[in-house]
Amino acid sequence: FELRNEDFVDLRDLGAGNGGSVKKVEHTPTKTIMAKKTVLIDAKPSVKKQILRELQFMHNCHSRYIISFHGAFLADPNICICMEFMDKGSLDGIYKKIGPIDIDIVGKVALSVLEGLTYLYDEHRIIHRDIKPSNILCNSRGEIKICDFGVSGELINSIADTFVGTSTYMSPERIQGAQYTVKSDVWSLGISLIELALGRFPFSQSESDSEDSDNDSDLSDYEGTLSPRPAGSVQLDLAEIGPLRPRRKKSEAGAKSDKAKKKEKRKSKGVSLQGGGMTMSILELLQHIVNEPAPRLTPEGRYPKSAEVFIDACLLKDPDERQTPKDLLRHEWIENSRFSSVDVQAWASTF
């Protein structure tokens, strides 16, 4: 069925990210509810056609762990990608609403993401490249699926023209410029799982407070700290990387009015993570990821040992030591999660 923009009616906004915005829509000829993502592409018509051709590949992806694809079309200057609508939304939205997610559910999330990644890589040699809570979706049937994977090299390039594809879920080796591999996705999964279990983004002040302060890379040495609230992804604007901005003195920052801070944030175009009136630049966060020990599922003992061990395995800083998604499907915690009787559908009915 050929999808055309005229055949959709908007039902509601589902959210917006750096690449575009997503709406719940109805495809009226077929009465199908879908999620329609609109991405503004500033490229030549030939490039847009190429992107559309590459996106068609998603028609070949069939897995219960992958969002299904209805089609993509050009609504110049936008490209629209129509996919399965997941009525419980993404896991970042869920934990922001209900708080930390029970570790048994997190185990089901880990299992589903590993299955999805293994399917994409083994069947199609696709690396996801953007695993994070906002790209893991849930529905009221209790299904957990991943979306927004890197099928179209041209699409990745077109978005990278305006943004460096840098996010805080990025692995140390990627920050240092190495190629993407399936193991980079495993790192991002580890960070995401801690975020779900803790109900907050894992790189935070409280973490650095417990460390030795006599350390060059200690967060407290910086202008400010990360928000204790989940920060999500942060994109770097190329123009902002140029000469690094000298960091502001803490006292100076404290003296600024809220209005001034907001203005400054706007000016920095999302380069800084901001929370509690303090900021830490994305570059400092990236440096922290590279130089400091990886975050862990803490406090020790609160969670099953096998979960702690699994997260540690995802967050091995050396990609050569880190296992692939397929290897990790055989991990004790994942095998336990597979046979666990926890009812994701019942859980999803509580929010």
Which residues are marked as active site? 130
SS3 label, residue 263: helix
Q: How far apart are CA 260 and CA 275, in angstroms?
A: 14
Of 266, 262, 273, 264, residue with least CA distance to 233: 273
| Tokens read off for 343 | 């009812």
- Closer to Mg ion at the Cβ: 20 or 199? 20
Tokens for 141, please give them: 């049937």
- The residue with tokens 């906004």 is 13
| CA nearest neighbour of 131 among 181, 205, 199, 204 | 181
Nearer to Mg ion, 135 or 274 (CB): 135
Residue 104 or 163 with smaller CB distance to ligand ATP: 163
CA distance 202 to 231: 9
Tell me the closest approach of the beta carbon of residue 145 to ligand ATP, in angstroms. 8
Beta carbon of residue 104, minimum distance to Mg ion (angstroms, whole number): 25
Euclidean distance between the first and the last CA atom of the chain, given in angstroms as a whole number: 34
- Binding residues (CB under 5 A) for Mg ion: these are 135, 148
67 binds, among ligand ATP, Mg ion, none (CB under 5 to 8 A by kind): ligand ATP
Minimum CB distance to Mg ion smaller for 148 or for 207: 148
Cβ proximity of 33 and 70 under 8 Å: no
Pairing of strands 144-146, 163-164: unpaired
Residues at the annotated binding site? 37
Q: Which residue is nearest to ligand ATP (CB)?
A: 17
**Residue 152 contact among ligand ATP, Mg ion, none, beta carbon within 5 to 8 Å by kind:** none
The helix (H) or strand (E) run that includes residue 237 is: strand 236-237
Question: Annotated binding site for ATP, which residues?
Answer: 37
Nearest approach, Cβ of 17 to ligand ATP (angstroms)? 2
Binds 15: which of Mg ion, ligand ATP, none (CB < 5-8 Å by kind): ligand ATP
User: Minimal distance in Å, beta carbon 86 to ligand ATP?
Assistant: 4
Binding site for ligand ATP (CB under 6 A): 14-20, 22, 35, 37, 67, 83-86, 89-90, 93, 130, 134-135, 137, 147-148, 233
